[in-house]
Structure 1
Amino acid sequence: MSNITRRDPLDDLFRGFFVRPVEYAGAPVEAPQMRVDVKEASDAYQVHAELPGIKKEDIHVHIDGPVVSISAERKQEKEVKEGERVLRTERYFGEVSRSFQLGADVDEARATAKFNDGVLELTLPKKAPAQSKRLVIE
Structure 2
Amino acid sequence: MTMPTRWNPFRQNNRFSVFPEFNDLLRNVSTHGLLTRQDENMLEMRMSVSEDDSGYLVRIDVPGVRKDDIDISIDGNQVTVSAEFAREKKSEDEKPLYTEHYEGQAYRSFTLPSEIDDTKAEAHYDGGVLSLRLPKKAGNGSRKLAVN
Q: TM-score, normalised by structure 2?
A: 0.68
**Native 8 Å contact 2:87 2:101 kept in 1:** no
Report the identity percentage: 38
* CA distance in structure 1 between the aligned counterparts of 2:2 and 2:137, rounded to whole angstroms: 58
- Alpha-carbon distance between aligned partners in 2 of 1:28 and 1:80, rounded to the nearest angstrom: 25
Structure 1 runs (4+) greater than 6 angstroms displaced: none
Note closer, same or farther for the CA distance 1:124–1:24 as it changes in structure 2 (3 Å cut): same
SS in 1 for 2:68: helix
Q: 1:77 to 1:100 in 2, by over 3 A?
A: same
CA distance in 1, matches of 2:106, 2:124: 19
What TM-score results when the alignment is normalised by the length of structure 1?
A: 0.73
1:95 counterpart letter in structure 2: Q
Aligned alpha-carbon RMSD (Å): 2.2
Is the counterpart of residue 43 in structure 1 residue 29 in structure 2?
A: no
Are 1:69 and 2:76 counterparts?
A: no
Larger radius of gyration: 1
Task: Find the aligned partners of 2:111 and 2:124 in 1 and give their Cα distance.
Answer: 20
In structure 2, the gaps of 5 or more residues are 4-27, 141-148
Query: Which segments of 5 or more consecutive residues in structure 1 lack a partner in the other structure?
Result: 1-14, 18-22, 131-138
The count of corresponding residues between Structure 1 and Structure 2 is 112
